[in-house]
Amino acid sequence: MDIFQILKKEHDQVKSLMNQMLSKKESKADDLMRQIHKELSVHMQGEEKLFYPMLEEDDSSREKALEGYEEHHVAKGVLKELQKMNHADERWMAKVSVLKEIVEHHVEEEEKELFKAAKGVFEKEEVKEIGKKYLEEKERMMSSMK
Ligand SMILES: [Fe+2]
Ligand SMILES: [Fe+2]
């Protein structure tokens, strides 16, 4: 898989996890939150390490990349707050909804704009190479989080 296929697949996974979360399966809330936190954190960290830096350096994609970092920053803040909060708190669902909106908006921009710009920045070989490095990095991060 190349980097675009990998990132798209992870976007779909996270979106599906958040939809499950909002379908109010109370008993699974903590489990789902743990999963969302892990998947999203690793995804953002991987993108920031291997995907964004080259886009930040190119004039054609710099602005979008900088915006992406800021959206990650906001999502991380909300994730952090959710971790400290009990899911019985009435603000819990409101916060999950906001996280979902932020993530969906961000994912749409990435897929529609940043991926497009990246295709002009990365060489064909790089697209595969970055994908490989991304998966290695992900495995490393996942095992350090256990
Ligand atoms: Fe992202
Ligand atoms: Fe992403």
How far, in Å, from the CA of 69 to the mean position of ligand 1?
7
State the distance from the centre of ligand 2 to the C-alpha of 108, rounded, in angstroms: 9
Q: How far is the CA of 17 from the centre of ligand 1 (A)?
A: 16
Does the pLDDT value for residue 146 go beyond 70?
no
Mean pLDDT for 7-28 is 89
3-state secondary structure of 25: coil
The pair of structure tokens assigned to 36 is 């969302």
3-state helix, strand, coil in the chain (%, to 5): 90, 0, 10
- pLDDT recorded at residue 134: 97
Residue 122 C-alpha to ligand 2 middle, in angstroms?
A: 17
Q: How far is the CA of 43 from the centre of ligand 1 (A)?
A: 7
Say what the pTM is: 0.93
- What is the DSSP code string of 54-104? HHHHSTTTHHHHHHHHHHHHHHHHHHHHHHHS-TTSTHHHHHHHHHHHHHH
> If you average pLDDT over every residue of the chain, what do you get?
93
Q: What's the gap in Å between 15 CA and the centre of ligand 1?
A: 13
User: Distance between CA 114 and CA 90 in Å, rounded?
Assistant: 36
Q: Going from the N-terminus, what domains does the chain have, and what CATH number goes with each?
A: 3-145 (1.20.120.520)
Largest CA distance in the chain: 49
How many angstroms separate the alpha carbon of residue 20 from the centre of ligand 1?
Answer: 21
